[in-house]
Each structure stands twice: as C-alpha cells, then as structure tokens.
Amino acid sequence: MIKIGILGGAESIGGNFVRIEDGDRILIFDQGIRFDVMSNYYTAFITPRSISELRDLGVLPKPEWYRGADEIYISHMHLDHLGALSNIPEKANAHLPSLTVYEVLEEKWRESPTWLSLIPRKYFINLVEQKPLETDKNGVMAIPVSHSAHPSYALLYSGREENILYTGDFRTESFLTDEEFARIQGGIDLLTYLRENRDIKVDTLIIEGTNMGSNRPPITPSEASEMIRKIASKHEMAIATLHPLDVEYAYFLLKLASELNLKCYVTSEQTARLLEGLSDTPVKPIVVEEYVGYPTFLEKALLDEVERKSLILASYGDVIDLIRDLATAVRGSLRNAVAIISEPEPELEEAAEYQVITKWFIKLGIQHYRIRVSGHYYPYELRDILSRIKPKKVLPIHTQNSKILSRLITQIYEVS
C-alpha cells in the first residue's frame, strides 16, 4: 500500500516536503526552506551560521525525513521548494527542472557574502535534469505549469497501485500564448495535457492553496498585461522589476517593447542569462554593462548610452541603484519615466522593502505602480481545476489556510 507523508507545507506557504513510499521505492517531492520560520530568528544583523542551525530551527527539513530516499524531485527553483541541496544528508539523485538555470543560481550563491553561500550541493549529490512529458525510470513525469519561475513542473507519479499528482506551484493562465508556452516550457501545460490524455487517472491530488483566505484582488496575467501596456504607452521610459526566474513575465515585457517600439535593456544578470537561452524573442534585449558583467553574445551598452524611449528590466535589489545611477549618468533620462514594481513570490525570499523603495521613487520624482500577478491559481478557479483533474482524493499543501481549502473541496464534491 502506498504511503504519502506531507512532512512540510501542510500549514505553511513554502517549505514543501512530500515523502512517497511505494513498496521499496521512496521518493521525495520538494524540500523547501521555511522563510516564515526563518524570519522569526534572523534579521539583517543576525544571520545563519550553518545548515545544522537552520535544520535545528525548523527552517530546513529534518535528516530523518530523507531516510531511505535517494530520488528527490524539485518542482521549481524558488527556494521555498528547491531548498538547500546541501541539506540532503546522504547520497541521492536530485532531479531538477533545469541544470543550466540551477548552475547559474549556484554560482551566485557560492559567491554570496550572505547565508546563501550555505545552499550549494555537496559532492555526493548527483544532479539529473527532468525531461518534460516523459516518464522516467522511477515512474515520475514532469508536466509544465505556468508559474513565476522557469521552468516549473507538476509531478505525476505512476505507482504500482495508485497515481499521485503533485501540483507544485501553478496558475491557470500564463503571460504567454499557448504556442509560446509550449515552445519555451518544453510542452503543453498540465490542464491541457490531462484534457488531451483522458486515460490518465489521478487517485491522489496534492494541490497547493497559496491564495486560500487571501483578500488580494485576483489579477490575472491578461488583466495585468493590459494595465502595464496602458502605463508604459503613456511614458517615454518604463522600468519594470521582476524575479530573475520569471521568464514568462520577461517575455511579455519583450513583446511589449516591440509593440511600443521601445529599446529593451536588462540590468539583471540572471534575467539576461535566462533570456540568452531563448531561441527566439520579440526584440533583442541589450544588457547594461555596469550591471551585467559576464561574457555574453547579447548586445551591450553603457548606462549613459541608454535611450530615453526604453523599457528596462531590473531586479528588485538593483532598481534603486539603477534610478540613482540613471539620474547621475544621463541628464533628463528620468523625465516622464515610470516604474512598474511587480511583487515577488515568495515575497520573503526577495526581502523586498517596499516602503524604502517607495520613498526613493518619490525623492526622485518617479511615479510608480505596484502590481501583483500571482503565480498561483485563485480560489474561484478551484472547481474548474478539480473538474478537469477528477481526483479520487485531495490533499492540501502550501497554504496557511488548509481548513478553507479542505472546506471548498468538500463543498465542490458534495455539489457534484
């Protein structure tokens, strides 16, 4: 009989840890960091000293959770799911969405003067790249989903007597068209795949519930796209922040730059590396040399060469330095400029200090807008999701409001 243990994430957003025991096969899906716990013990001045300290505090998974498991699958590379590969206590295969993306992140972490330097893997961890829509030797298939990290997968395990679908983090709508999504993410999305493969039966669905209990406006990518288009079209220069793994949003911004006939500049090295890996983009991004120092075949420009009619892609951490530098380097460059701040997910991972950022924008006379497009489905979409997946059993994860999610699931099944 198959045994499913949700050892992390049952009552928290992040820190997912799913242990599946099926006979002699033991699999782990995600092994994330608990940023909510981390914020209780650390500040800018009090920082982690070791992996063992983080483990003892409950920030990282316990060693015994890994016992007997040598196959670990990561749904996407936000740290509340990827976690620290250095925390894996024994020799194991870590199945990652992209080795290229991970190696870029790991290089940054190794050089970090912060606790992030603790994250990189130990020598006995073997990295394996997941292949979308292919069932591997362990019976696991990675199915593309839309989320604010690239690439992101749901994980379908075809067990001896039961099929288990773990959604990871996902939303039902993308910034990309269906064709763009399939090309960039390596295949069609989860709900489309299940619709086209009706013979796949899901016995147990482990579904995230990030937005359960939230009163935030449920803004979709298409609605946000229209807002951003209106804002950018009324200004000469638009500065947009984004998570460095959010390829979907970055691609939309490139399309917008093409549509509005704007030059597109990138000041985030990680974003530049991801865009460099795309075979076809609406416009060719130009990297700003003062911010992107690695060797790249992308066109380069100095900061004082940045044109006023432009769209600039920046990271949360760099955006204030960028506007201060622009104000100094290019006289009048910020006249009729606007900033579009997209809220990161997970927010605690980015440590974005919005009040400080806001004061800088006001100081420099820049109008800014704060837009949150969730990388997660909204509660009103749950009924449609369940009607498409048709699971026999549903287990909540990645939510602070599991009672609300469980109640909604019960109500949906009672009506149907």
Omega within 30 of 0 (cis) for the link into 221: no
Burial of 383 (0-12, 13-18, 19+ CB in 10 A): middle
pTM for this prediction = 0.95
> Residue 416: what pLDDT?
55
**Would you say 265 and 288 are in contact if contact means Cβ atoms under 8 Å apart?**
yes
Go through the domains of the chain in sequence order and give each one's CATH number.
3-214+377-415 (3.60.15.10), 221-371 (3.40.50.10710)
**Intervals of the chain under pLDDT 70:** 344-352, 415-416
Beta bridge partners of 26: 21
Q: What is the pLDDT of residue 357?
A: 85
Using alpha carbons, list the distances in angstroms from residue 408 to 261, 390, 415.
46, 15, 11
Beta strand segments in 97-210, E: 125-129, 140-144, 153-158, 163-166, 204-208
How far apart CA 410 and CA 416 sit, in angstroms, is 10
Compute, in degrees rounded to 10, the torsion defined by CA atoms 33, 35, 41, 45. Answer: 100
Q: What is the pLDDT of residue 42?
A: 95
What does the pLDDT look like over 206-237, one tens digit per residue? 999 999 999 989 999 999 999 999 999 999 99
Q: Which helix (H) or strand (E) holds 400?
A: none
Q: Is the peptide bond before 346 cis (omega within 30 degrees of 0)?
A: yes
pLDDT of residue 331: 72
Start-to-end CA span in the chain (Å): 28
CA distance 189 to 173: 10
Quote the CA–CA distance of 48 and 60 in Å, as a whole number.
12
DSSP string for residues in 188-222: --HHHHHHH-TT---SEEEEE-TTTT--S----HH
5 strand-pairing partners? 19
What are the Cα distances from residue 299, in Å, to 150, 262, 296, 307? 23, 15, 8, 14
Q: Determine the pLDDT at residue 194.
A: 97
Phi, psi of 379 (to 5 degrees): -55, -40
Helix (H, G, I), strand (E, B) or coil at 119: coil
Measured distance CA(328)–CA(312) in Å, rounded:
17
| Residues 271/313, Cβ–Cβ less than 8 Å | yes
Question: For residue 17, which of 81, 77, 71, 100 has the smallest C-alpha distance?
Answer: 81
